[in-house]
A and B are shown apart, each in its own frame.
Chain A
Amino acid sequence: MEVLLLLLFPLLVGVILLTRDNIYASLLLSALGVAVAFGAYIHLGELAFILTALVYIVASLTLVVVAAATLKESATTTQWRWAAVGGLLILAAAALATQTAVEPPLKQTVDFALIPLISALFIFALKMAFEITL
């Protein structure tokens, strides 16, 4: 099952690298987030899928709004992109050469003490964000 992900990730990242439009790139990021969420589901079950997919769809839709707000024409494509795509394909080929077995997904309970801690950090990050923008 992981082999499918191994082929999907370089494909999606490669299309992000090759596209010039930032809005399209943000939508591809949400697709990549759902793909990684599926990978997390293989290892950790449904809760991991929901968590990752939620965070990444929200984050990439935010980026779609930001990209639409800062619309600019981009310049010509750089030569770097092909080198980057080639490097990714080489890494993917190297990883295909090594295969290990994947055990069934593990059920773990989330530590609920994390919730107030993460909320406190999030409020702190939001406060910083307000101070940056204002």
Chain B
Amino acid sequence: MAVYIALLIMAGGLAVIATAKSLVRAIIGAEVMTLGAIYASAAARDINMLAVAASAGVFETVLLVATLFKMARRGYV
């Protein structure tokens, strides 16, 4: 059951990315997919893996937002 919930969240994240009209919506979709990974690590009952997945989500957000700002500065957004 937990496997399906993790897959469901990941499918939701993919759907948000696929229907994204702006880059901010694509970043939100990437965050939702990372939430799926966090739930999967919680269902696997490994808190260290959960900490690693959460921190990977943070790094990903930082880098994606930085890229978004760079593109906005160059005028591509």
Contact = CB atoms under 8 A, between A and B. Distances in A.
B55 to A, nearest CB: 5
A87 B18 CA distance: 13
A75 B6 CA distance: 31
A121 B8 contact: no
Given A43-B42, A43-B43, A13 B9 contact: yes
Nearest to B54: A55
Contacts, number: 191
The majority secondary structure among interface residues of chain A is helix
Interface size class of B (residues with CB under 8 A): 35 or more
B8 to A, nearest CB: 5
B54 A51 contact: yes
B11 A16 contact: no
Nearest to B29: A16
Interface in B5-23: 5, 7-9, 11-13, 15-16, 18-19, 21-23
Interface of B: 1-2, 4-5, 7-9, 11-13, 15-16, 18-19, 21-25, 27-28, 31-32, 35, 38-39, 42-43, 45-48, 50-52, 54-55, 57-59, 61-63, 65-70, 72-73, 77
Interface of A: 2, 5-6, 9-10, 13-14, 16-17, 22, 25-26, 29, 32-33, 36, 39-40, 42-45, 47-48, 51-52, 55-56, 59-60, 62-63, 66-67, 70, 72, 74-75, 78, 80-81, 84-85, 87-88, 91-92, 94-95, 98-100, 102, 106, 108-111, 114, 118, 121-122, 125-126, 128-130, 132-133
